[in-house]
Amino acid sequence: MKITRYRKEDDITYALGATVVMEYLLHDTENVKGIIIHPDFRAEDTKERITSICTENKIPMVTEEKPFNILSQKENCFVIAVVAKRQATITDGNHIVLVNPSNAGNLGTIMRSALGFGIENIAVITPAVDPFDPKTVRASMGAAARVRVELFESFDDYRRRFPNNNFYPFMLDGSSKMQHTPIEENFSLILGNEATGLPREFSEIGQPIRIEHTHNIDSLNLPIAASIAMYEATRNNW
Amino acid sequence: MKITRYRKEDDITYALGATVVMEYLLHDTENVKGIIIHPDFRAEDTKERITSICTENKIPMVTEEKPFNILSQKENCFVIAVVAKRQATITDGNHIVLVNPSNAGNLGTIMRSALGFGIENIAVITPAVDPFDPKTVRASMGAAARVRVELFESFDDYRRRFPNNNFYPFMLDGSSKMQHTPIEENFSLILGNEATGLPREFSEIGQPIRIEHTHNIDSLNLPIAASIAMYEATRNNW
């Protein structure tokens, strides 16, 4: 299998590690174009499950060491899936909206929480980190195989598609505290960039919310803020 | 200034980047043993603030490129603090208790959330990742300069010191849902290792709690679970 270092412009990405690979094989099967097994892969159970899914779905499998040197810096990666990028379209309902997120690990961690809290639509306003970056996919622990992520060129583009959603921008000076703000269904939880947060004009959109914390920190880490928002928004569903 | 790659057994660690360095200069001043400035550091305001604190506190400053090659893989790091490790003792009150955490970035992210939610005592049960690792310090965004982190050889050691705290172990099958569990003051929010969670026997300790999520994910990311726990435990304080 010819493997090159990942590039954003390619139409394939890579899922690294058994956990992530299994999620793709189970939930995005038709987009798995090949599986690469490390010669030292010893987890026989997992190898058997992978082999059986690949056989059934006619997915090519090879055993080869070199791709691991090209794609994986982590020592504990013994299986890689080559995955065609799935251009998803988000659907009506509850959304997470990320405005200009810049860190691949953060985006992946948010995907994982979103899938956990049953929010399977993620809108990403560009410029933004590449949602197909193998670092994003790995941080998502495979949630990337299941959530829908759609890129929008501007927040206005997003809003034109979902004009009736209830907008909740998360801002350090949001006028309403998270724990005192009822979140209505068909919500859009909107969070800004890691370093800069949301632009000022979002304070005029919907109901701005703040997650109160001491002044000893500048802000919460982005996936933490996003996950607390999702936890609160869905707390009555469980 | 003689700089070597960080080792766990050394009595100093390194704070990388202006944000983290400033937190140490402001909040753990006496432990800052030196400041290294990159020849290309251009943020004159920050440089002036650092210089003035260093002058006032007789902290040596040097301008040198080489330490950055040894200590920093990130391009956007232009200042480093050499910091003596501060062996802290946690005090009575509210605690986060981390049983065998294994990832430096996760521990740092939890420190940042803990400081944000006003929980300044963190007990770490060994074996565990090094709380002074520069990766932990950096992920904490400098919260490491302010929270108290104490290592314990076992959970029993910790419990003997704080027998009257209210224990809340977080487990996937905890008997009470987070949002329906009142958290009493002098709480200990107890979370397990990233891959394995808490050992079974914690289900007999205090009030085990679960943060409900769909079966589409195995678990939430550790700092996410810890931060949701801290957010809930302090939600009535704000």
The pLDDT tens digits of the residues spanning B38-59 come to 999 999 999 999 999 999 999 9
**How confident is the model at residue B2, as a pLDDT?**
80
- Chain B residue numbers with beta carbons less than 8 Å from the beta carbon of A113 are 220-221, 224
C-beta neighbour count of A39 within 10 angstroms: 9
- Given a cut of 90, whether residue A73 has pLDDT beyond it is no
Q: At what angle do helices B222-233 and A222-233 cross, to 10 degrees?
A: 60
Among A29-33, A72-76, A192-196, B99-103, the range scoring the smallest mean pLDDT is: A72-76
**How confident is the model at residue B74, as a pLDDT?**
72
* B113/chain A closest Cα distance in angstroms: 6
Q: Residue A32's closest CA among A88, A85, A70, A104?
A: A85
- Chain B residue numbers with beta carbons less than 8 Å from the beta carbon of A143 are 216-217
**How confident is the model at residue A34, as a pLDDT?**
97
User: Quick one: DSSP state of residue A87?
Assistant: -
- Rounded-to-integer distance, Cα A197 and Cα A160, Å: 22
- Given a cut of 80, whether residue B142 has pLDDT beyond it is yes
**How confident is the model at residue A72, as a pLDDT?**
86
- Rounded-to-integer distance, Cα B186 and Cα B95, Å: 7
**How confident is the model at residue B167, as a pLDDT?**
98
* A125/chain B closest Cα distance in angstroms: 23
- Given a cut of 80, whether residue B1 has pLDDT beyond it is no
Q: Which residue of B has its CA nearest to A219?
A: B116
C-beta neighbour count of B3 within 10 angstroms: 19
Output the CA–CA distances (angstroms, integers) from residue A92 to A96, A100, A236, B120, B153, in the order listed: 12, 22, 20, 42, 51
Cβ–Cβ gap B221/A113 under 8 Å = yes
The pLDDT tens digits of the residues spanning A199-237 come to 999 999 999 999 999 999 999 999 999 999 999 999 998
The closest CB to that of B116, out of A19, A214, A227, belongs to: A214
* H or E stretch covering A98: strand A95-99
**How confident is the model at residue B77, as a pLDDT?**
93
Q: How many beta-carbon contacts under 8 Å exist across A and B?
A: 82
What does chain B come to in residues?
A: 238
Cβ–Cβ gap A116/B214 under 8 Å = yes
Burial (CB count <10 Å: 0-12, 13-18, 19+), residue A48: exposed
**How confident is the model at residue B238, as a pLDDT?**
83
The pLDDT tens digits of the residues spanning A92-145 come to 999 999 999 999 999 999 999 999 999 999 999 999 999 999 999 999 999 999
- Given a cut of 80, whether residue A1 has pLDDT beyond it is no
The closest CB to that of B116, out of A112, A143, A220, belongs to: A220
- Chain A residue numbers with beta carbons less than 8 Å from the beta carbon of B238 are 177, 179, 212
Output the CA–CA distances (angstroms, integers) from residue A200 to A135, A174, A226, in the order listed: 30, 10, 19
- Rounded-to-integer distance, Cα A127 and Cα B52, Å: 38
* Token pair of B57 as six digits: 């506190």
The pLDDT tens digits of the residues spanning B66-125 come to 999 999 877 789 999 999 999 899 999 999 999 999 999 999 999 999 999 999 999 999
Top residue of A231, A232, A235 to mutate, by most chain B CBs within 10 Å, is A231
The pLDDT tens digits of the residues spanning A175-209 come to 999 999 999 999 999 999 999 999 999 999 999 99
pLDDT tier, A20 (very low <50, low <70, confident <90, very high otherwise): very high
**How confident is the model at residue B109, as a pLDDT?**
98
- In this prediction, residues A68-97 reach a mean pLDDT of 93
Cβ–Cβ gap B224/A220 under 8 Å = no
* Token pair of B209 as six digits: 């709690």
Q: Residue A96's closest CA among A70, A72, A73, A115?
A: A115
Sign of the C-alpha dihedral computed for residues A128, A131, A135 and A138 taken in this order: positive
The closest CB to that of B118, out of A146, A214, A227, belongs to: A214
- Given a cut of 80, whether residue A75 has pLDDT beyond it is no
Cβ–Cβ gap A221/B177 under 8 Å = no
Q: What is the mean pLDDT of chain B?
A: 96
**How confident is the model at residue A238, as a pLDDT?**
83
- Given a cut of 80, whether residue B228 has pLDDT beyond it is yes
pTM of the model: 0.96
The closest CB to that of B113, out of A118, A218, A224, belongs to: A224
C-beta neighbour count of B134 within 10 angstroms: 22
Cβ–Cβ gap B117/A221 under 8 Å = no
Q: How much is the ipTM here?
A: 0.96
Cβ–Cβ gap A116/B217 under 8 Å = yes
- Given a cut of 90, whether residue A76 has pLDDT beyond it is no
- Chain A residue numbers with beta carbons less than 8 Å from the beta carbon of B143 are 216-217
Burial (CB count <10 Å: 0-12, 13-18, 19+), residue B200: exposed
- Chain B residue numbers with beta carbons less than 8 Å from the beta carbon of A136 are none
Q: At what angle do helices A222-233 and A104-116 cross, to 10 degrees?
A: 10
* Token pair of A26 as six digits: 């189970």
**How confident is the model at residue B230, as a pLDDT?**
98
- DSSP notation for B129-195: --TT-HHHHHHTTTGGGTSEEEEESSHHHHHHHSTTSEEEEB-TT-SEEGGG-PPPSSEEEEE-BTT
Q: Residue B206's closest CA among B222, B182, B235?
A: B182
User: Which of left, alpha, beta for B141 (phi over 0: left; psi -120 to 50: alpha)?
Assistant: left
- Chain A residue numbers with beta carbons less than 8 Å from the beta carbon of B231 are 211, 228, 231
Q: Are A181 and A208 in contact (CB under 8 A)?
A: no
- Rounded-to-integer distance, Cα B21 and Cα B25, Å: 6
Q: Which residue of B has its CA nearest to A147?
A: B216
